[in-house]
Amino acid sequence: MNNFSMKDVLKKNVMTIALFGIYVLFVILAFVIKGTNMLDPSVVTSLIEQNAYVFILGAGMLMCMLTGGNIDLSVGSFVCFAGAVVGLFSVENDLLNKWFGVWEQQLVDGEMQTVLVKAADPLSTPVVLLIAIGIGLLYGAVLGFLIAYVRIPPWIATLAGYLAFRGLGTQVLTKASTTNAISNFPSSLSSIFTGKLFETPWGQLNIPCLCLGILGAAAVVFINLNTRRNKIKKGYHADPLWFVILKSALIVAVIMFLTVEFALDGGIPVVVLWILAVLIIYGIITEKTTIGRHFMTVGGNAEASRLSGINNKLIMFVAYLNMAMLTVIAALVVTARTGAANSFAGQEFELDAIAACIVGGVSAYGGAGTIVGMVVGATLIGVMNQGMSLVGVDQDWIKIAKGLVLLAAVVFEISSKASREKASKMAMKKDKVAEAEEQLKEAEEALKEAETEAQEAFEKAKEATDAQ
């Protein structure tokens, strides 16, 4: 069972290689053209912090797309709305005062006026978080119900959400504040989603961060080697040792690079923990669990999946419920990072998440895609964004470039799929031809044998007659 091929591995990871190449290219360009060091710890940290929402939303969008190329357009608007609601309840504001403040009729400048005598208290952080989770569950359940059970096409149902939540969020913010934004979040809330773990001053090497990084790297190496050992012990097909070591070494290099960058920049950003948690959980769901497998099959062939005893409707429902919950997390992360809930928060987030999936090789028709691919796609777009702005490319041109990359990714995906199919069909045909040739050879041999036998028999008979 020796079907390991380096060529296949390279083919499978072509996007990762492209990402690495593009990153190096921008590092050089930024340094040569503008003298900026893209490897500077603060630049690397901000690359990740800025794109945190893409990773989180991308995981949810991946699950939706797996069910058959379905997307959620309401993500960005719901980020805005969820942020506004969190702001509304966690910071003192006009709307909260209007609802819950104590108002009295008082004589001001000789006129009777309704005056606020006691402002409403903002809710405590746990309660606010519960409310946020609550609205996520509610919206996700309604959306999931409409799509899975009422059978409204996903893009229409979520287009409604896209329009409505932008309006609703803006309304809440306009009513709550004269500046149309809510800021000054309590630190008890924002510290859950932003800031650094075990923070140290800038420039000083952060020891806890280094330790965690080394631990993580060691864990990856251990898991990789252990998996291989188990496979061999049970007699299953396993990759060669040198490849496992090479793979582990590359992953360790990435982890250590980030660890050092974070350590120099004051510690691990809290948001990285959120990203890691989401990615690991969804990575396991898609690769290792039965429900993840169900997502793939519903998207791959809905009828086959139904006849295999899978509840397609439930899967669709879960996909959109899950998306709404991840959107809430993304809203909290974004609000905490910017320190304010704005009416323009979350604009085009849905498109970023979809683009990350598509560039990351998630099938636009459903049934295929991985978390790792999505991460590569999201990072690629993030690197292009940051790299081009550092080099000084105009925003409009960045958009054009991103559009082209998206298109190229899809074209590449489709053409490589076609060539793969062709190649494997050719291989199959070759097998068949080889088989037929073998059969022919066997037949020829049998024929020869028969001929010699006949010859012998003939000779014997001749001898017999001669003897007579």
Cβ atoms 67, 319 nearer than 8 A: yes
Which residues are paired to 106 by β-bridges?
113
Is residue 437 a contact point for another protein (CB under 8 A)?
Answer: no
What is the C-alpha separation between 234 and 338, in angstroms, rounded? 51
- Return the number of the residue (66 or 176) whose C-beta is nearest another protein: 66
List binders of another protein among 147-176 (CB under 8 A). none
What is the C-alpha separation between 345 and 214, in angstroms, rounded? 36
Q: Please choose, out of 96-104, 172-180, 229-237, 380-388, the segment that lies near another protein by the rule CB under 8 A.
A: 229-237
- With CB under 8 A as the contact rule, the residue among 424, 442, 451, 457 that binds another protein is 424
Extract long-range pairs of 448-451: CB within 8 Å, 24+ residues apart. none
Q: Please choose, out of 82-90, 228-236, 248-256, 274-282, the segment that lies near another protein by the rule CB under 8 A.
A: 228-236
Is residue 7 a contact point for another protein (CB under 8 A)?
Answer: no
Is residue 421 a contact point for another protein (CB under 8 A)?
Answer: yes
- With CB under 8 A as the contact rule, the residue among 42, 230, 395, 416 that binds another protein is 230
- Return the number of the residue (203 or 309) whose C-beta is nearest another protein: 309
- Return the number of the residue (116 or 368) whose C-beta is nearest another protein: 368
Is residue 219 a contact point for another protein (CB under 8 A)?
Answer: no
- Return the number of the residue (432 or 441) whose C-beta is nearest another protein: 432
- Check residue 320 and report its DSSP letter: H
- With CB under 8 A as the contact rule, the residue among 307, 464, 466, 468 that binds another protein is 307
Is residue 1 a contact point for another protein (CB under 8 A)?
Answer: yes
Q: Please choose, out of 79-87, 115-123, 204-212, 293-301, the segment that lies near another protein by the rule CB under 8 A.
A: 293-301
Which residues are paired to 118 by β-bridges?
102
Dump strand ranges (E) for 10-163: 102-108, 111-118
Written as six digits, the tokens of 213 are 């990084």
For residue 335, CA distances in Å to 98, 192, 329, 375 come to 23, 11, 10, 22
* Contacting residues for 147 by C-beta, under 8 A, at least 6 apart: 70, 153, 154, 157, 316, 317, 320
**Residue 222: count of CB within 10 angstroms of its CB:** 11
Per-residue x/- mask for another protein, residues 354 to 393, rule CB under 8 A?
Answer: ---------x---xx-------------------------
Is residue 425 a contact point for another protein (CB under 8 A)?
Answer: yes
**Which residue bears the tokens 């799509």?**
147
3-state secondary structure at position 332 = helix
Per-residue x/- mask for another protein, residues 112 to 151, rule CB under 8 A?
Answer: ----------------------------------------
* Element of type H or E holding 196: strand 196-197
Is residue 309 a contact point for another protein (CB under 8 A)?
Answer: yes
What is the C-alpha separation between 82 and 133, in angstroms, rounded? 9
Is residue 74 a contact point for another protein (CB under 8 A)?
Answer: no
* Contacting residues for 139 by C-beta, under 8 A, at least 6 apart: 78, 161, 324
Q: Please choose, out of 65-73, 124-132, 212-220, 282-290, the segment that lies near another protein by the rule CB under 8 A.
A: 282-290
Closest CA to 320 of 152, 81, 130: 152
Is residue 466 a contact point for another protein (CB under 8 A)?
Answer: no
Binding site for another protein (CB under 8 A): 1, 3, 230-231, 234, 236-237, 288-291, 293, 296-297, 300-301, 303-311, 363, 367-368, 421, 424-425, 427-428, 431
